[in-house]
Amino acid sequence: MNGNGISHEQREGAAEAGSREHPYAPQPGDIVRDVGCRRVGQVMGHVGPRYRVRPLNGGCQWEARAHDLAPAVYSDAMSAAVAEANAQSRWGL
């Protein structure tokens, strides 16, 4: 795992995600991209088909459907980190 929480396996797995026979089943701790709301976060858990996802730098969790989640690639996590840094500098958070 590197400094931003994305493992080498997750980066490689994201490239193969579209070719899998079985849908992606996120596990707690996985860094994911929610294609439904275009956000990146960490899976905290799930109940049935609904997953709880938390922004990488903290904040309010949101619910996502399993079919909307995909493994995050390195650029997804970096984009989220840059957006958070920009918000902090702009609003002094």
CB-CB contact of 41 with 4 (8 Å)? no
Residue 74 is predicted with a pLDDT of 78
Summarize the confidence of residues 49-57 as an average pLDDT.
91
> Which architecture, in CATH terms, is 8-91?
Roll (2.30)
Residue 19 is predicted with a pLDDT of 47
Q: Is the pLDDT of residue 16 over 70?
A: no
Summarize the confidence of residues 54-58 as an average pLDDT.
86
CA distance 85 to 65: 28
Q: Is the pLDDT of residue 20 over 70?
A: no
- Between the CA of residue 19 and those of 22, 62, 91, what are the distances in Å? 9, 27, 42
Measured from the Cβ of residue 84, the count of other Cβ atoms closer than 10 Å reads 16
Q: Is the pLDDT of residue 2 over 70?
A: no
User: Which of 4-8, 17-21, 49-53, 89-93 bottoms out in mean pLDDT, i.e. has the lowest?
Assistant: 17-21
Handedness of CA 25, 5, 40, 72 (dihedral sign): negative
Give the distance, in angstroms, between the CA of residue 64 and the centroid of all CA atoms in the same chain: 11
